[in-house]
Amino acid sequence: MTETRTTTVRPFTGEGEPAPGLRITQSVSANCLPSALSPENELARRCFTKETSVAMDPCFVPERPVVEQRDPDNEAAGAFGMTTVALCVSGPGSSDVTKVYVLEDLGAGARVATQADPHWGLELADGTRCVKALGVPETRNSQPLSYGCDDGGFLYGFPDSAREVWTIQHRAGGSDELTLTEVRTAWR
């Protein structure tokens, strides 16, 4: 690996259609707020479904609202009056998305850049995929727990992007030790 690849998620074409290669696995209606996992991305949202009260983050709206008048798969969206659609990704690098009929979008306002890590997902050199964890007070070696990983482990601190290949502290599942590991891909 010669460098860490950064990817800004853009699940819509310029015409507001789902990007080629994405597979819509379900459709729901929701109200959306600015994303907690990807706060610097002005198109990223956190959506709360009406059907299950589940929060999905990150979701992405198109640059221009897409209003579908009626969809036979979602009677509630037509009945309540949707404002646009959003696509919610199931994880870093996944092509499976949930289509959201946005009933209310509170995330269209101005965003304030933060000092926090702008990446919502990381893939490590060994293929482990991790998603940003919020509100977990655990620290190790003075580094806050920042990501939960699909290997049952965690990442601590922010990625060190000073070199071509970024690094971050990783605690593998079942281990108490932190090891410095390389980051293959970072998603915004």
d(CA 142, CA 26): 41
pLDDT digits (tens, 9 = 90+) for 138-176: 999 999 999 999 999 999 999 999 999 999 999 999 999
The domain ranges of the chain are 25-105, 121-187
3-state secondary structure 37-104: CCCCCCCEEEEEECCCCCEEEEEECCCCCCCCCCCCCCHHHHHHCCCEEEEEECCCCCCEEEEEEEEE
Q: Which of 63-67, 117-121, 181-185 has the lowest mean pLDDT?
A: 63-67
Predicted TM-score of the model (pTM): 0.85
Burial string for 165-178 (b: 16+ CB within 10 Å, else e) reads ebbbbbbbeeeeeb
